[in-house]
Amino acid sequence: MNKNTIVLTGGAGFIGSCFLWRLNLDGINNVIVVDNLGMSEKWRNLAGKRFLDYIQKDDFLGLIKEGRIKNIKTIIHLGACSSTTLNDAAYLIKNNYEYSKSLAIWAKVNRAKFIYASSAATYGNGEFGYDDSNKAVYTLRPLNMYGYSKQLFDLWILNNGLDKEVTGMKFFNVYGPNEYHKGDMMSVVCKKFLEVSQKGRIGLFKSYRDDYEDGEQKRDFIYVKDAIDVLFYFFKNPEKSGIFNLGCGTASSWNELANAIFSALGKEPCIEYINMPENLKLKYQYFTEAKMNKLRRSGYNCAFTSLKDAVGDYVGYLKETRYL
């Protein structure tokens, strides 16, 4: 293997495959992709990409622990179960927490840079704000088991002082190409594009709080192209470390998102407000907005794509893709 080999877990997934594209764009091909393709169509995300090798996720830990993969300089750990409705706590602990710890420990012992994906799901209902300072991370109360599995790993990083060596990214609502395989976990942009194409309308959840009108619940949406640019910045600057928010720093409503989709398709808006499933009502985030001060202080100063422009770009891609 190349002495500067990069391991990219979740490399066939949504953000992982987009990041592999970004690496290739810079002429970087010395990548080992680690994933679990299973019965999904996400193998398509690897078609046309350049990398050294593909290894199944369940085999990878054993291989590096046995010393059978050498010269790893960087581990970019984006692989995880990201279902916010899965209730199998044992699986999420093993897959999202224990696996991440094993990789981080190996990286430290072998002096490899470790960059990993956390999540805005750690912020719960936002009652403690969206501050990514170390002190604030300890106060968070996730609303679902997925968020808690990510919170546990963030805390483990902090409790072991590894934030001075590794880099964690709290992804907010990422959307963009290569997510078609995610089923119910696809972004709302992708889902609603299909809905408009098939039914000519968009259904949004009603609000169950007096301080929010229907469709005025807000999220910090970030285009995947912007997200991978931030990841690439930390990849190219391995001396920078810590846990950072990765949103765009501006919350937009579901109504704004829906209108951007209609505009990109050249259609008049038609929005219906539908009942929220009972199992989501107590776990639903009404507002997210990343504080971006820490990221900016790290030296990243690029602007983020506006919601209208990003949705327009993505809808153009969705209209052309043959996988939907």
**Residues with catalytic annotation?**
146, 182
CB-neighbour burial class of residue 79 (10 A; exposed 0-12, middle 13-18, buried 19+)? buried
Edge-to-edge strands of the sheet including 113-119? 53-56, 31-35, 5-9, 72-77, 113-119, 167-171, 242-246
The H or E element spanning position 293 is: helix 293-297
Taking each continuous run of H as one helix and of E as one strand, the counts in the chain are 12, 13
Q: What is the C-alpha separation between 158 and 137, in angstroms, rounded?
A: 9
The H or E element spanning position 311 is: helix 307-320
Q: What does DSSP say about strands 5-9 and 31-35: parallel, antiparallel, or unpaired?
A: parallel
